Amino acid sequence: MPDNVDPCLCTHLIYAFAGMRSNKIATYAWDDVKLYHEFNALKNKNKNLKTLLSVGGWNFGTEKFTAMVSSAGSRQIFIKSAISFLRGYGFDGLDVDWEYPGSRGSPPRDKHLYTVLAQELMAAFEAEGKSTGKPRLLLSLAVAGGKSNIDTGYEVPQLGQIVDFFNVMTYDFFGPWNHTTGENSPLYALPNSKSTLNLEFNVNFAMKYWLKKGAPAEKLNVGFATYGHTFRLTSSAHGVGAPASGAGPAGPYTRQAGFLAYYEICSFLKTATVVWNTPQMVPYAYRGREWIGYDNVKSFQDKIAWMKKVNIGGAMVWDLALDDFSGAFCGQGAYPLINTLHSGLGVSTGCVPSRKPQKPPVPSGGGGGGSGFCAGKTNGTYPDPKDKSKFYECVNGRTYEESCASGLVFDTSCQCCNWP
């Protein structure tokens, strides 16, 4: 939850994910509005922190993106809704996580329309910043690490001229969908293997391919994973490339087969054999028929050294909640992996509180039993029947009064503040 986040760890925090309804950006979970306020209130503790809202994600698919970019009119509907939504909730920018233009059901024309969307978003952000006197909204893109998805999805030189930065998803290179074990986010390819998967599915190849395609190095962020993928071994072999069939068992907290958070991995390692994979500069571990490829503090340090050598702009992490955020599992303090990034990349340690606090929503009308407007109502967002610029957020019977930014009204179609 936002309370668990150290606001001094990162330069930018991204809230994932928002959705889309009728080509307008929209909340995804019932408590998003409450969490938006808590998330953006982290800027009270670090006045230099920037927050972005990410729209899309893997599970979101491509269909709604394809529909939205298909015409100038639908793109403008999205862009206007994004500006009002971001400003209304206090975000500093938008992250577009379309996975992926030109594949997974998205037609080839979307490759160019993705560029057009980025151009129009940035033009609108610049115009809105000038007209309001506010700092321009930021624009970042979450982009593929696999060569085929890069080729089919992105006009790289054009995008490089438009956006503030690319978050390259250099992880999920191997997982239980493969029939042999493999590292989630290896730095290098394995030697003596000519397979395309091995040669292309690693951090070094992916980032150098983005550079080769024309992305500015200073706008590229390398993806770092605070989780690993598990496999079920089918023989006594237990190296990288050992035969496997499907996912290892789900972790006690993340509860997803084939996937463990770093803090769950720390518990797994207590009874497992750990091996440092020297050629790929990442560890793996096995216990009985369970096998996991993951990252640790050492592999993060090695990737940081590589980043400095290649002169890549920065790092992006998926995600905060998967690191040992409480420090209770790994014995390495809170956020051991992300702290390694923070210190290794020389991120400023000066965390200066803001003088103008971001106000959280004010509860009105009593405690958890429910009174006031939200008494007896299900959790959700409701318009104020008396004032179009206000709305109520109902959370377990508690009433939170909210106000839209000046000039905006609450729009029930997107559950957001919008232009009248």
Give Cβ neighbours of residue 132 (< 8 Å, ≥ 6 apart).
none
Q: Are residues 369 and 328 in the same domain?
A: no
Residue 233 pLDDT level (bands cut at 50, 70, 90): very high
Residue 236 lies in a domain: no
Mean pLDDT of 393-407: 77
Q: Are residues 186 and 96 in the same domain?
A: yes
Q: Are residues 147 and 177 in the same domain?
A: yes
Residue 280 lies in a domain: no
Residue 152 lies in a domain: yes
Domain boundary among 310, 344, 378: 344
- Give just the sign of the alpha carbon dihedral 118, 124, 129, 130: positive
Residue 138 lies in a domain: yes
**What is residue 2's DSSP assignment?**
G
Residue 277 lies in a domain: no
Q: Are residues 373 and 303 in the same domain?
A: no
Q: Are residues 118 and 187 in the same domain?
A: yes
Provide the percentage of residues in the chain whose pLDDT is more than 90.
Answer: 81
Residue 15 pLDDT level (bands cut at 50, 70, 90): very high
Q: Are residues 147 and 61 in the same domain?
A: yes
Q: Are residues 339 and 380 in the same domain?
A: no
User: 400 - beta bridge partners?
Assistant: 363, 393
Residue 32 lies in a domain: yes
Using a 10 angstrom Cβ sphere, with 0-12 exposed, 13-18 middle and 19 or more buried, the burial of residue 367 is exposed
> What is the number of structural domains in the chain?
2
Order of strands across the sheet with 398-403?
362-364, 398-403, 390-395, 380-383
Crossing angle between the packed helical segments 336-344 and 297-310, to the nearest 10 degrees: 30
Q: List b or e across 269-298, with b for residues whose CB sees 16 or more CB atoms inside 10 angstroms.
A: beebeeeebeebbbbbbbbeebbbbbbbee
99 is catalytic: yes
Residue 178 belongs to domain with CATH number: 3.20.20.80
Residue in the structure block whose two tokens are 């089919």: 152
pLDDT for 361 = 47
In whole angstroms, give the CA distance from residue 174 to residue 85.
36
Give the residue with greater pLDDT, 228 vs 391.
228
Catalytic choice (38, 63, 99, 393): 99
Mean pLDDT of 134-162: 98
pLDDT for 365 = 42
In whole angstroms, give the CA distance from residue 203 to residue 315.
12
pLDDT for 364 = 45
Q: Do 10 and 347 contact (CB within 8 A), yes or no?
A: yes
Residue 351 pLDDT level (bands cut at 50, 70, 90): confident
pLDDT for 359 = 52
Q: Are residues 300 and 410 in the same domain?
A: no
Give Cβ neighbours of residue 175 (< 8 Å, ≥ 6 apart).
182, 184, 229, 231, 258
Task: Identify the domain containing residue 403 by its residue range.
Answer: 362-418
Q: Are residues 339 and 392 in the same domain?
A: no
pLDDT over 60 at 17, yes or no: yes
Mean pLDDT of 130-135: 96
Q: pLDDT tens for residues 49-80?
A: 999 999 999 999 999 999 999 999 999 999 99
State how beta strands 290-293 and 282-287 pair. Answer: antiparallel
Residue 273 lies in a domain: no
Q: Are residues 13 and 43 in the same domain?
A: yes
Q: How many CB atoms lie within 10 A of CB 202?
A: 24
Mean pLDDT of 402-407: 74
pLDDT for 416 = 72
Residue type, 30: W
Q: Are residues 410 and 333 in the same domain?
A: no
Q: Do 304 and 341 contact (CB within 8 A), yes or no?
A: yes
**What is residue 361's DSSP assignment?**
P
To 10 degrees, the CA torsion angle through 146, 147, 148, 149? 50
Q: How many CB atoms lie within 10 A of CB 30?
A: 14
Residue 245 lies in a domain: no
